[in-house]
Amino acid sequence: MQFIKELLAVAGLAHIRLADYSVACISTTRPIYLVFGHDADHPAYVIRRLADDHDFHTQQIHKYLYQLVGKRIPEPVGIFEHAQQKYDIQHGVKGAPWFQIKSKFHTETARAQLEARLWQTLVDFQSAITACNANETNTIQPHDELSRVFSEYQKIEQTENAELVKLVESAVSDLSGVPGCFAIPQHGDFCLNNLIIDTSHITVIDFEDYEITAMPMYDHFTLALSLPSCSEEPNLAVNAFKDTQIAATAEKLGIGASDIRWHFLHHILLRLGPWSTGEKRAKYRAWLKQLLASFIEAHAP
């Protein structure tokens, strides 16, 4: 692609290592260009066009996070302009997305080993962020946060569900009696599809939803629901919050075992708010609605 060659020249990246480069384009909501050097097994650069203010904000978040977590995420190069369009360029990383390698994890042992690595990646990512904010004492009131996301949910799903209303009231009542939680900025979509997996390292990508909430364990639920061991059947996936990794994290954070389910309800309702409206996430939203129905059936007072 000629414009990629010209863009690399503008960015001062058209060095000898890329003299014989190739470009692959991934079509998602916006095209992503992967620039490979000669015989390379991973991209040297990843390029995205910045189309709106949200894209620019995401790039700034990426730059900020790299200062906190380092090589746990791709290294940003910068923003460069070509033909009156601006592009975000970042260094590529070794590894592959889940859809390319999932067939290699066909045994229960292999999947369990991978999932242990995924959980550790989340722990390391959040630990690096909280370590940099160690002097801050921000707290979040879980009952207020649950009420807020339920209100957002009701604005979209205007048909009232009496059982859900009673359930949220019960959850808010329970949570109002516990101390506030330490606020931990969440990745926002820490799922299997946003991890690049290599044999010795896992890289976290996609920061469009960073700080969607500071409610602790939101990312844990997102990861749990995306794991190979989690059923795609909503009536089974609804038990994801019972994962031993989540229970251990809750204990460390001082969240009572009986309150974990209310944090999970917060997770479901937040994702059923503005986050999942639109065609991009329509299929996942439909699945989340089934998950919520299963949760209501299991926990209705």
Every domain of the chain and the residues it spans: 2-91, 98-299
- What average pLDDT does the segment 255-269 reach? 97
| Entry pTM | 0.94
Question: Above 90 in pLDDT, residue 137?
Answer: no
- What average pLDDT does the segment 37-53 reach? 91
Name the average pLDDT for the chain. Answer: 93
Return the HEC string of the chain: CHHHHHHHHHCCCCCHHHCCCEEEEECCCCCEEEEECCCCCCCCEEEEECCCHHHHHHHHHHHHHHHHHHHHCCCEEEEEEECCEEEEEEECCCCECHHHHHHHCCCHHHHHHHHHHHHHHHHHHHHHHHHHCCCCCCEECHHHHHHHHHHHHHHHCCCCCHHHHHHHHHHHHHHCCCCCEECCCCCCCCCHHHEEECCCCEEECCCCCCCCCCCCCHHHHHHHHHCCCCCCCHHHHCCHHHCHHHHHHHHHHCCCHHHHHHHHHHHHHHHCCHHHCCHHHHHHHHHHHHHHHHHHHHHCC
Question: Above 90 in pLDDT, residue 194?
Answer: yes
Q: What is the pLDDT of residue 29?
A: 66
Q: How confident is the model at residue 3 (pLDDT cuts 50, 70, 90)?
A: confident
Question: What pLDDT digit, counting tens, does each position of 77-126 carry?
Answer: 999 999 999 999 999 999 999 999 999 998 999 999 999 999 999 999 99
Question: What pLDDT digit, counting tens, does each position of 48-63 carry?
Answer: 999 999 999 999 999 9
- The rounded distance, in Å, linking the Cα atoms of 239 and 179 is 25
Per DSSP, what are the bridge partners of residue 81? 86
Per DSSP, what are the bridge partners of residue 88? 48, 79
Taking the domain 2-91, which CATH number applies? 3.30.200
Q: How confident is the model at residue 16 (pLDDT cuts 50, 70, 90)?
A: low
Taking the domain 98-299, which CATH number applies? 3.90.1200
Question: Above 60 in pLDDT, residue 223?
Answer: yes
Per DSSP, what are the bridge partners of residue 48? 32, 88
Q: Where is pLDDT greater, at 300 or 55?
A: 55
Q: What is the pLDDT of residue 134?
A: 58
